[in-house]
Chains A and B, each alone.
Chain A
Amino acid sequence: EDKVVQSPLSLVVHEGDTVTLNCSYEVTNFRSLLWYKQEKKAPTFLFMLTSSGIEKKSGRLSSILDKKELFSILNITATQTGDSAVYLCAVNFPGNTDKLIFGTGTRLQVFP
């Protein structure tokens, strides 16, 4: 059965800390891995990763994929209270349409 597992489930840190969120997957056919940030409402897109070892970076956020070991990490440096959210990982596998399998998410809380 295809699945995506995220860890930790929840994380509480202080502003300025660096955090690493993990996403491992087991899918029969892999096309890409996506990271989303979900605050109160809709998930917003962060990164899409398709190739191993190539880091994607946006400000204080970065992500990398390891297709051999079937996992990805999302790093956030110098965390701010505005980073507080649920971070979702999803894997896209090819088919008739682009279906995503989501993990349950990591809830990050950043306190001042």
Chain B
Amino acid sequence: SQTIHQWPATLVQPVGSPLSLECTVEGTSNPNLYWYRQAAGRGLQLLFYSVGIGQISSEVPQNLSASRPQDRQFILSSKKLLLSDSGFYLCAWSGLAANEETQYFGPGTRLLVL
């Protein structure tokens, strides 16, 4: 079976500091990977998606970047955090191992920028 991991679970960072959030998937190959942000009281906003190693598509202009150095690893980064980067960050995967159109979510990282 497939599992998806995210870490850390919670992060408190000062404004202007760098960020690195990691997501890994087990039990499948060549998944599509996604990063979402959920601000308080709002829906999920797609930030990035990737269909393969080194292939990243950005959905919205922002202070963040993503990378996929390995098939089952997806990283969300920032060089300098802004207050508006606070939120709940969710990684998800989809692929042939499960219903291809369904996305399955990791446990999320709650980020607070002070």
Q: Which of A44, A45, A88, A97 sits near B44, CB closer than 8 Å?
A: A88
Q: Say whether chain A's binding surface is mostly helix, strand, loop, or mixed.
A: strand
Cα-based distance from A96 to B43 in the complex (angstroms)? 23
Is A53 close to B, CB under 8 A? Answer: no
Cα-based distance from A90 to B101 in the complex (angstroms)? 11
- The count of A-to-B residue pairs whose CB atoms sit within 8 angstroms is 55
Q: Report the minimum CB–CB distance from B39 to chain A (whole Å).
A: 10
B contacts, CB < 8 Å to A: 32, 41-46, 49, 51, 57, 59, 90, 94, 99-108
A contacts, CB < 8 Å to B: 4, 31-32, 34, 36, 41-45, 48, 88, 90, 92, 96-105
* Given A100-B46, A102-B44: 15 more A-B contacts, CB < 8 Å: A34-B103, A36-B105, A41-B107, A42-B90, A42-B105, A42-B107, A43-B105, A44-B105, A45-B104, A48-B102, A92-B101, A97-B94, A98-B32, A99-B59, A100-B44
